[in-house]
Structure 1
Amino acid sequence: MISVLFAVLTAISNGSASVLQRRAASTVPDSDALHLSLIRHLLRQRVWLAGIGLVIVAAICQAIALATGAIAVVQPIFVIELPVTLLIASYVFRSRLPGSAWLGVAAVTSGLALGLGAASPGGGTETVDPIAWVPALIITLGVEVVLIGAAQRVRGNPRAALFGLAAAVGYALTAALLKDAVSRIEDGAGVVALLSAWQLYATAVAGIGALFLLQNALQAGSLVASQPMLTLGDALISITYGVTLFGENVRTGWWLVPELIGVALITAGCLELARSPLASGTAPPKPRVR
């Protein structure tokens, strides 16, 4: 499937971008959190700009994936971004992944396969009734306000986790808006209809906001705290948007048991993988030659 292929390419680009951005954001002082000075500091770092380049590549691949597949199928695939990135990083740094990291890779991939297989998402419409966006946007904004407010009251990893979840909400909203926007082309209305759709510009606003929240998550604490919230939050919230806005279907009933097992496996795998030095954008120390 074209949508699955481009979803995988999106995951690779996003995962690599997160590592580069984490490496840059970790040098920003706490006083710059939630200030424009955070972005000014990052703009001076080439590694962060490289990460932004990969974000742009990911956005293009994601648009193609969403235009050709259901959001409840495409977005959950992005949970593989961390294991794929670690595999690439281990090759680049010529460092073997420890056995625990391989277990993490196996947990994430098997959890994704189990969860998607049990949920069997699909169906739905390509566009959203404009009226349906009103309560969706109001609820999303309310959730973001609560998460950001809570994040400002704590420090360290709890703050990173809350900002990571807030970024996940933003990215899930971005995906839903993007899918609704690109459907204008699918309807045969052409590029002009796409450029005149408010969803396209709302996608840009939501995406920039999510990116800003992600930088704060990466700056606030470790990847172990932010990555699972970002990865799982994006997948689960996107499925919610798919079901409520696009009318997509997922299996419930006793199927929830294997679905929850899949989520648990993905969570455990992400926590294990996020502990790796490679995930933080640093190469592990090489053994001394005697």
Structure 2
Amino acid sequence: MTIALAVAAAVLLGLGFVLQQRVAQQAPPEDSLSFRLFADLIGKPLWLAGIAAMVGGQILGAVALGAGDVTLVEPLLTTNLLFALVLARLLSAQQLGGREWGGAALLIAGVVAFIAATRPGTGAGTVAEPQNWIFIGLVLVIVAGLVALARRTSGSAQATTLAAAAGLLFGTQDGLTRAAMRILDGGGPGELLRSWLPYVVLAVAVVGLLLAQSAFEAAPLRASLPPITAAEPLVGIAYGITVFGERVRVAPPWLAVEAGGLAAMIVGVVLLARSHMFAPHRHRRHPQVQS
């Protein structure tokens, strides 16, 4: 059930990313990293459909995280790129090439190898508070540095940097969501609402969404999807091991397979996201010069 939920979440997330980017790329460049960007996008039905798909994917992902380990669910969520590619292929009416097939094979092989090698196991079941706050603080410092760097760049470089920051926040959001689901299962909605977790999850989700939309606005998906898709599971897995104490196999042979699986996942993500199907379908608008 956990695997089915995670794959269903990946389907909706891939759909959401493609739909959002097709609209966000037309937003005014000056609204990047500003909440005005949401005002530009909120009235676009296609963008709203993308947000609805993304929210649906996050809900299914939250249920999967509540039922299983982060180290199991996160690698499966990276397959959202496969489903994004399928949608992009339908929209572009182009054929899949060697890059796409090779990237898909590497991504799937990496996910299978990593899960098989780690053999995820449930940890203590409680959040280690000191590690939790240290982890969140470290992520926020890195995100702030990436945003500051993005402000000094433009185009693909800016999109990649902002997308990496968004991926870091989405991975942290996944870990925090699992912690919130633990409280919900143990104490019910009242206990959850009395904790700080749902409010931090919401804040992290909104800022992550703003960074992702700014990345989508700055350049085509081939610049923004790889860092989002790669950073989110890496941070989520690190959160599960560090904060939840999830057990993974650490014998040298298994570590080698785990590292190889992660490397294959990342290379597969990059190959898929750099497909010509994720190239822009129209150029961004430029102001007309009066003669």
TM-score, length-scaled by structure 1? 0.89
Aligned 8 A contact 2:2 2:73 in 1: yes
Deviations 1:113-169 (A, max 9, x none): 112222222221333134443222221221111111111111222211111110011
Q: In 2, distance between residues paired with 1:190 and 1:242?
A: 22
Aligned 8 A contact 1:26 1:218 in 2: yes
Residue 202 of structure 2 is aligned to residue 204 of structure 1: yes
Q: Secondary structure at the match of 1:259?
A: helix
Residue 213 of structure 1 and its aligned partner are, at CA, apart by: 0.8
Give the equivalent residue in structure 1 for 2:176.
Answer: 177
Letter paired with 1:199: L
TM-score, length-scaled by structure 2? 0.89
Letter paired with 1:271: V
Give the equivalent residue in structure 2 for 1:218.
Answer: 216
How many correspondences in the alignment?
281
Q: Secondary structure at the match of 1:127?
A: coil
Residue 280 of structure 1 and its aligned partner are, at CA, apart by: 5.4
Residue 220 of structure 2 is aligned to residue 251 of structure 1: no
Residue 261 of structure 1 and its aligned partner are, at CA, apart by: 2.4
Give the equivalent residue in structure 1 for 2:43.
Answer: 44
Q: Secondary structure at the match of 1:38?
A: helix
Q: Secondary structure at the match of 2:78?
A: helix
Give the equivalent residue in structure 2 for 1:22.
Answer: 21
Give the equivalent residue in structure 1 for 2:126.
Answer: 127
Give the equivalent residue in structure 2 for 1:194.
Answer: 192
1:93–1:34: structure 2 CA closer, same or farther, 3 Å change rule? closer
Letter paired with 1:81: N
Q: In 2, distance between residues paired with 1:127 and 1:216?
A: 35
Q: In 1, distance between residues paired with 2:42 and 2:280?
A: 18
1:247–1:94: structure 2 CA closer, same or farther, 3 Å change rule? same
Aligned 8 A contact 2:18 2:87 in 1: no
Give the equivalent residue in structure 2 for 1:266.
Answer: 265
Aligned 8 A contact 2:99 2:275 in 1: no
Kindly report the root-mean-square deviation, in angstroms, between the aligned alpha carbons of the 2 structures.
2.1
Give the equivalent residue in structure 1 for 2:61.
Answer: 62
Q: Secondary structure at the match of 1:123?
A: coil
- Counting only pairs closer than 5 Å after superposition, residues 85-234 of structure 1 correspond to structure 2 as 85-90=84-89, 95-187=94-186, 189-234=187-232
Q: In 2, distance between residues paired with 1:260 and 1:129?
A: 25
1:220–1:180: structure 2 CA closer, same or farther, 3 Å change rule? same
Q: In 1, distance between residues paired with 2:257 and 2:273?
A: 24
Aligned 8 A contact 2:94 2:277 in 1: no
Between 1:66-75 and 1:87-96, the stretch displaced more is 87-96
Q: In 2, distance between residues paired with 1:185 and 1:33?
A: 36
Aligned 8 A contact 1:105 1:273 in 2: yes
Residue 1 of structure 2 is aligned to residue 5 of structure 1: no
Residue 110 of structure 1 and its aligned partner are, at CA, apart by: 1.0
Letter paired with 1:161: T
Q: Secondary structure at the match of 1:225?
A: helix
Give the equivalent residue in structure 2 for 1:241.
Answer: 239
Q: In 1, distance between residues paired with 2:92 and 2:32?
A: 31
